[in-house]
Structure 1
Amino acid sequence: MTVYSIHVRDTGLKPDLALVKDGFSWPAAIFGFFWALVLGAWDVALVLLAVQIVAGLALPMLIGDATALSVVQLGVSVLIGLIANELRRWSLDRRGMHEEAIVTAHDKEEAERRYLDANPYMTAKLLRD
């Protein structure tokens, strides 16, 4: 089972709902900056772009050996994968989507269903318009 955090924006005309999986993010580790752009997390995208630029420019000056440089750059990618979902939660919080609940499920759809089954008032709000 996977743990998901449920983020809700309950203000405005229609509420928003977002689910963020807990754990390592392979897409973020592989694609970094582009992963954040696809999610619409512009603030996270800028942070990842800065990290990747610094890693790409500064590390070759500090590390002369190509093998060691590859290992360090792989480590940067792994670090991005480890913190990516926390960065996404931070970005959602900055956009006014507070963490509402934690749900365990086999996949994202089941997690959403479990949350909405336990919170019928949110289902009604989401289906209102």
Structure 2
Amino acid sequence: MRLFTVHARDGAKPATRLVREGFSFAAFLFGPLWLLWHALWLGLLGYLLLAAAIAALPAPWENPAALALQILLGLHARDIQRWTLARRGFTTEGVVAGRDEEEALLRLVSARPGLARGVMA
């Protein structure tokens, strides 16, 4: 079973988002492209600043530091998503479990039908 945090926003354009818990292999492998794909602009800016600082390191430290940056991004990518959602006015509504996102969404809608009107297909 996978765990997802539920984030919702009310108003004229209600929205509900699920963010998976755990390590993001896609963020680890594709770093800045993953941040771009998810529109995490401040996360991308921070990543680029750190990558520039790492590029200025002396030769024996550059590769281990770059690998550490990628591992940290993989570990904290979902946290960056949650932080960005909070900045955009979403509130954390709870946690839901499921084998995949569709099953978790089905469980969420059956338990909390009020959140269904903002679900993105």
Common topology (TM > 0.5): yes
How many corresponding residue pairs?
Answer: 119
For residues 67-98 of structure 1, the C-alpha deviation after alignment (integer angstroms, 9 at most, x for no partner) is x5323321211111001111110011000011
Structure-2 residue corresponding to 1:58: 56
1:8 aligns with 2:16: no
Q: CA RMSD in A?
A: 1.7
User: Hey, what's the Cα distance between the residues in 1 that align with 2:79 and 2:56?
Assistant: 25
1:33 aligns with 2:32: yes
User: Hey, what's the Cα distance between the residues in 1 that align with 2:44 and 2:62?
Assistant: 23
For residues 21-71 of structure 1, the C-alpha deviation after alignment (integer angstroms, 9 at most, x for no partner) is 11101111112122111111212221222222222x222x3xx33xx5323
Moved over 4 A (4+): none
User: Hey, what's the Cα distance between the residues in 2 that align with 1:8 and 1:113?
Assistant: 16
Q: TM-score of the superposition, structure 1-length normalised?
A: 0.83
Select the structure of larger CA radius of gyration. 1
For residues 74-127 of structure 1, the C-alpha deviation after alignment (integer angstroms, 9 at most, x for no partner) is 12111110011111100110000111110111111111111111111222x348
Structure-1 residue corresponding to 2:114: 121
Choose from 54, 78, 95 the match for 1:102.
95
User: Which runs of 5 or more structure 2 residues have no equivalent in the other structure?
Assistant: none
Structure-2 residue corresponding to 1:89: 82
User: Which runs of 5 or more structure 1 residues have no equivalent in the other structure?
Assistant: none
CA distance 1:25–1:100, change in 2 (3 Å) = same
